[in-house]
Amino acid sequence: EFLRKVQDKVIIFACGTAIETLYNAGIRPTFYGCTERLRVVSEHLDLIPDQDFIRSCYLISADVVHPAVVAHFDHAALFGKADENFYWLGAGKMYDQFRKIMPISLMNPLVGNLGVAAATQLGFKRIYLFGVDNGTKREDKETHPDENLFYKKHKAASSAIHNLTYTMDGNFGGTVATSYLYRLSARYMNVIMRHGVHDFKLNYYNCSDGVLLDNAIPTHTDELEWWYDLPDLDRKKFFEYMDNEKSFALEFTDKDRESMLDPTIFDMVADLAMKMLKGETPETRLDFALRLQNVCEMLFKLHSTRDYYVADFFDGSLYSMFAMLMRSLFQIKDEKEAIRVTEDQIKYILYFIEDAKKIFRMLPDYCAEDHQKNLNGVVGFDHPDSKAPPIRMRKVYVTPEDTANYPTRKFVKRYE
């Protein structure tokens, strides 16, 4: 009720599925924010019966957002996600433009983190958190996503959020049942609030009956009745400010794209890694471990060159696979058997690197979920003794036929 009355006077940032809640409540947000890189986010937006309501919001996200999501909005501004490969690939190839992109950090694990991080990076001096509960006080331990039909249908896939095995102090006293992801979300929010933005004094107020945040002032809505006297926000003028002062359009030609995605260096690193992994079969566990270490050292040294982004493409995947190899290498008691089993696993890593070279050439048209059509219905590529298994395609949640059958229900702003 409070947000209905003041919705024309404040800037409202709707995080994720909150946009559906606000639509049903008759509240028009200023911003919509999402963190996921999946097409399914676009399908969730399709559930809103009034797409003009969606287009009237300003999209704020990072450069990992799916293009189908961006297409829903007339206005959008994307941060650079500075711990992603693409950001550093762009910085290495198009430095003059990418150095102007504002980076964003700690926008995960949950979409509320994007809201706090984005509002901070944009420099808002007073940031109020509503519904950022990071858990629940309810006896049945139901959280606000449980009220959302979209999440309720797929609750099993998000068990890490719903496994409320921890408790934390509440913002307005008491305790809150919470999970690992919610706790991590709260921790990252605290880090953002503690450090803020250089040269700005930012103030955070937690109006949510959820987890206590150390760096936000617990605030009830009856302490904010002075908002009623604020002037109405000129939405059009604010959007013009966002478009012209706080964001800019990348000048990105086909030639730039070809230069950025030139596979020459990528192939060189891939071929070198494969050459180092092939070699003769080591005689001891230590020799085998040193072979893996040589690949790691090569990637580490690559980080100090102008082609450092190539190492980022390989780091996470190869290091995870190497951890698997080390497990086989040192948990099998017989050394010769351990080396044989580990050597057998090496060939699948070589297949992976060969596949990566092919996939790199599919960029930039290799978006999450959409990438499946690039692979002709299978996972990866066939190899002499390893046939690519079929992809289990995800069922589209919202089809054009569904949308055509939805009742047209225009958004109605409500103040009471």
Buried/exposed 120-134: b ≥16 CB within 10 Å, e otherwise: bbbebeebbbbbbbb
For helices 285-302 and 264-278, angle between their N-to-C axes, nearest 10 degrees: 170
Length of the chain: 416
Instruction: Using the structure block, give the residue that is written with the tokens 């690559």.
Output: 302
Instruction: Using the structure block, give the residue that is written with the tokens 């331990």.
Output: 141
Enter the tokens of residue 405.
């059958």
The pLDDT assigned to 146 comes to: 59
Backbone CA torsion sign across 340, 345, 351, 357: negative
The pLDDT assigned to 203 comes to: 93
Q: How far apart are CA 54 and CA 28, in angstroms?
A: 9
Residues contacting residue 60 through CB under 8 Å, at least 6 positions apart? 13, 31, 32, 33, 76, 77, 78, 79, 114, 118
204-256 pLDDT, tens digit each: 999 999 999 999 999 999 999 999 999 999 999 999 999 999 999 988 888 88
274-321 pLDDT, tens digit each: 999 998 889 999 999 999 999 999 999 999 998 888 999 999 899 999
**CA 47 from centre of chain:** 21
